[in-house]
Structures are given as C-alpha cells and as structure tokens.
Amino acid sequence: MELSEAMRTTGAVREYEPRDVDDATLYAILDDARFAPSGGNRQAWRVIVVRDLEQRRRIRDLYLDAWHDYVAHLLIGVVPFSPLMTDEQRSHAVSQRSAAESASDPQGFAENLDRVPVMLVVCADLGALAASDRDLDRYQIVGGASVYPFVWNILLAARQHDLGGVMTTVATRHEDRLRQEIGAPENFAIASIVVLGHAQRQVRLLARRSVEEFTTIGRLDGPIFLPT
C-alpha cells in the first residue's frame, strides 16, 4: 500500500470481526511504529499489551465511566473537556450525567471495550518529554508531540496489515487508577488506549477539510495558501 493511500484511508475503526490478531502481526506493527520521531530521540513511549480478561474489564469500567462524562458534554452541545469550557458549562455537563448513562448502548464500543481483539495502553515517561510550553499560562500540549506520532504510526502500520484501529484518550480521565492497573509510577502519563482488530468495515473515503480551509500565509488571518 502506498503511503498516500494509507494516510487517506486510515480512519477510526471501532467495530471488529471476532478474529484474533496473532502476536507476530502485533509485534511487526510495533516494530514499524517505533521509528516515529520524538524529541531528542528519547522515545518516551511505553506500551502495555492487556490480555487478562479481568484487567480488561476493570479498564473498560474506568473507560465507560469517563465515557458517560464525555457524552454528558455532547448532550449540552459543547466539546467534551474543552480547555476553554466555562464553569457554567462544566456544571451543566455534570447535570446531564444521568441522561448520558441512560443513553448507554449495550452494543457500543465503550460498553464492550474489554472484548476488542487487541488492547494496548500507551503511556509516556514525563521525564523524557521536552514540554516547551510547560510554563505558559494555558493548556499544555507540546509534550504530546513526542508520543502521538508513535501512536499514529501504530495505526498506519496496522492499516498496512489490513487491520483497523482507534486511539482514544477518554480513559485518561481516570489516570491514577489506570496507572495502578498497569503498574506505572506517577511520573508516567497515560497517553492513549489503542485498540486494533480486523475491521468489520474498512473506511475508504474520509471526510476532512480542504487545505484551503486551514492553511494561510504569514498570519492566521492571512491570504489562503494555494498551489501556484
């Protein structure tokens, strides 16, 4: 598969066929993904393959609890956990928690997270991240640049093996308990849960904004960038 095709057809897959992914394939995926860039080539990521059924259920329960909070935000029409959320919006979202629980789908992804073919927990060694925005008076984001390219490489490598997957950060809402589940110390952050498997339906056409809609010259309000 050409790189361009892989980039244009690697979407979020949450429904899988009841087929296992063998260890050799998963190893090959991680073996390719490890060549992702990272600050200082420190490769801060660590991956835990979660196999034990009881451990999977505990992680599912943490995920589902956070998912209900996520859905509660959607019910009031705001971006879940947005750094720009007001206290009033946050309080309104909390009030919708029961409604979010009532909307739970027994066949949903969150409700069945423990049954996925492959569950990976990706965490990051905070001591290895060059977070140049750590002292800015805003939400910190830069440190993720040394971790999420690796996560994306996992999904691209999985696509090469005709698998689908998704990275999700919802469960990080319960980071302390997740760290306990995987035996990670406090200086490790939970970056993502990554799920892989044989997709029931492989995405062929993704909906994205055009280059003209997000690229300008010189300034955010500058002229639109166009090919010459």
56-115 tens-digit pLDDT: 999 999 999 999 999 999 999 999 999 999 999 999 999 999 999 999 999 999 999 999
CATH of domain 3-213: 3.40.109.10
**Rounded to the nearest 10 degrees, how much is the dihedral formed by the CA atoms of 156, 158, 159, 165?**
-90
pLDDT of residue 13 exceeding 90, the answer is: yes
pLDDT the model gives residue 205: 79
Domain boundaries, the chain: 3-213
The phi and psi torsions of 50 (rounded to 5 degrees) equal -100, 115
Q: Give the pTM.
A: 0.94
Are the C-beta atoms of 194 and 154 separated by less than 8 Å? yes
**For a pLDDT cut of 70, what percent of the chain falls above it?**
100
